[in-house]
Amino acid sequence: MQTTFRLCIALALAILSLHSPVLAQSRQAPPGMFKDLDDEILGDARIIHGKQLFIDDYLIGEMQGVRKQLNQPVKHPQNPLMKKEKPWEYAITYGAIVRDEREGLYKQWYQIWSDEKDSIGSIGYATSQDGLKWDRPVTDEATGKNLVRFTPDEPWAGGPGVFIDERDSDPARRFKMMYISKPNLKSSSLASHVAWSADGIHWTQAAVNPAIPFSDTQVCPFWDRRLNRYVAFLRFGPPNVRLVSRIESEDFLHWSPKLTVINKSKLDGPFSTDHYTMSALPYAGVYLGLINTYHGETIAPIPEDKLWMDRKDVQLAFSRNGVTWQRVGKEGAISAKELRADRDWQQTAKDAAFLPYGEFKKEWDWGSIVSTYHPPLVVDDEIRIYYTGINGRNWHNYHKDASDHAVGLATLRLDGFVSVNAGDEPGSLTTKPVVFLGDTLVVNANAGGGSLTVEALDADGKVIEGFGAADCMPITTDSVRHVLKWQDNADCHLLQGRPIRLRFHLKNSKLYAFTPHIKLNHYLQSYD
């Protein structure tokens, strides 16, 4: 009888526990659930949030048997995507592209030269469903043209930099543009103007125009969420000097004085390189710049051993604050101190091409290419980079080249600007001390045909138990979203909130980025 009673009590408690989370849950907090953190514990560790790239050495503590590599985008097989085709299009060039999610359309604004002397400049408008096949919608029924329209009228306009300003509550100012204008049709009157639009076709000029004294070629504005300000990149001047300058504004009307951020350096010496302009892309908490680099300007005959002269390609720049910039070469970012050092710069300059021009006199973009301005456009885990290509050199008329301009596309793997590579011999990259909050580490890597494992080290450099390289489930495939797993740990919350180093072990693989995430709920009702 007593045994039966005890069994009934045990059964009742078991049933009760099913309906009582407090009783059902262990009153012991799982190991590592709570941690202390202050400036002394933090030490020199860097607190990180979001995606971490390896373009510079901000997080790199040590590399052994691995090297960084600048990766070039792949030009699209359907190139060129859009050629000049209308009677009023003598040439098409500097443009801007956005993806308008409200309408499900890609939209493009591009400069039109109406004759060889560029006596009439206008801005064309094109749209696309997929960003590959482009249409020119008629914006003026009276003329049948696809030109944007300004109020008041603009006698000459070009170099449009357009973005969608979703933060502006005024629907009439959803589209914002900075462009260059010649109020009296003379080059001496070149200046940067601002305008806004509800539909991207009908534009209202700001009363303060010209907003910025002088500019030439492309102007590239955007809203910088990190700084809570508008920022733009444009040419230095007057006089007309090919240097990249930066300005910023609180209201898109009143702008700071120009600050030159991409200046001539020893990297530019071997090929007499000038900087036409730069498009800046806020990306993953940092900034990427596409510099249109012009090599060896000349109108004289060009010898066979210097066919690089009078041609443009695109180089990469990098910044963590949007103000101070580093050039990017074959092995990643080059500091200002390094750029001032004496060394043989010729090979470094040759390897700095991020988006190269095509094969000499064989491809449609062999003469010059200029990146089109747009925010990062990511489609199917690829970054789209649009550009204008020309089958002739800059001073084509002197060299008796053709001068057909067209729009092309190149694509880059997500985060694929600079990778850390290892070959047949194993290598490793160890980060500087970092602190992250979260429970999941995601890695963008191509380990197809190779392997990648990760181990975690504590503040003293010792492997943290359960998180050694031998405990890590090897990555052996190609993915932009590998989730790191260790054999005895369902997630990595034990690593969070404390200074650690991550050591990536690579063999025949490429590492592009890693990201701390919060994927789980770590909820406790009570504990002892």
Q: Which domains does the chain have, with CATH numbers?
A: 30-71+419-517 (2.60.120.260), 74-415 (2.115.10.20)
Task: Phi first, then psi: give them for residue 435, nearest 5 degrees.
Answer: -130, 130
Model confidence over 348-398: pLDDT tens digits?
999 999 999 999 999 999 999 999 999 889 999 999 999 999 999 999 999
Cis peptide bond N-terminal to 210, omega within 30: yes
Strand pairing class (434-435; 46-47): parallel
* Nearest-10 Cα torsion for 167, 173, 175, 181: -130
CB atoms within 10 A of CB 330: 16
Could you tell me the two tokens for 11?
């059964």
Alpha-carbon distances, residue 473 vs 83, 269, 428, 482, 487 (angstroms): 50, 48, 16, 11, 7
Taking a C-beta distance cutoff of 8 angstroms, is the pair 368, 394 a contact?
A: yes
Rounded CA-CA distance 60/286 in Å is 16
Nearest residue to 349 via CA among 269, 406, 429, 455: 269
Model confidence over 395-437: pLDDT tens digits?
999 999 998 999 999 999 999 999 999 999 999 999 999 999 9
CA triple 272-232-146, angle to 5 deg: 95
With tokens 């209308």, the residue in question is 86
Q: Supply the Cα-derived Rg of the chain in whole angstroms.
A: 28
pLDDT of residue 180: 94
| Burial (CB count <10 Å: 0-12, 13-18, 19+), residue 165 | middle
Total H helices, total E strands in the chain: 6, 37
Rounded CA-CA distance 476/480 in Å is 13
Q: Which residues are CB-contacts of 101 (< 8 A; sequence separation ≥ 6)?
A: none
pLDDT by 10s per residue, the chain, length 528: 455 545 554 444 444 444 444 444 556 777 777 889 999 999 999 999 999 999 999 999 999 999 999 999 999 999 999 999 999 999 999 999 999 999 999 999 999 988 776 667 899 999 999 999 999 999 999 999 999 999 999 999 999 999 999 999 999 999 999 999 998 888 888 999 999 999 999 999 999 999 988 888 899 999 999 999 999 999 988 888 899 999 999 999 999 999 999 999 999 999 999 999 999 989 999 999 999 999 999 999 999 999 999 999 999 999 999 999 999 999 999 999 999 999 999 999 999 999 999 999 999 999 999 999 998 899 999 999 999 999 999 999 999 999 899 999 999 999 999 999 999 999 999 999 999 999 999 999 999 999 999 999 998 999 999 999 999 999 999 999 999 999 999 899 999 999 999 999 999 999 999 999 999 988 877 766
pLDDT of residue 291: 97
Could you tell me the two tokens for 223?
């809203």
What's the predicted TM-score (pTM) here? Answer: 0.92
CB atoms within 10 A of CB 313: 25
The distance in angstroms from the start CA to the end CA of the chain is 36
Rounded CA-CA distance 195/367 in Å is 33
Sign of CA dihedral 204, 209, 211, 212: positive
Taking a C-beta distance cutoff of 8 angstroms, is the pair 386, 99 a contact?
A: no
> Got the DSSP string for 319-379?
ESSSSS-EEEETTEEE-HHHHTS-S--HHHHHTTEEE---STTTSTTSSEEEEPB---EEE
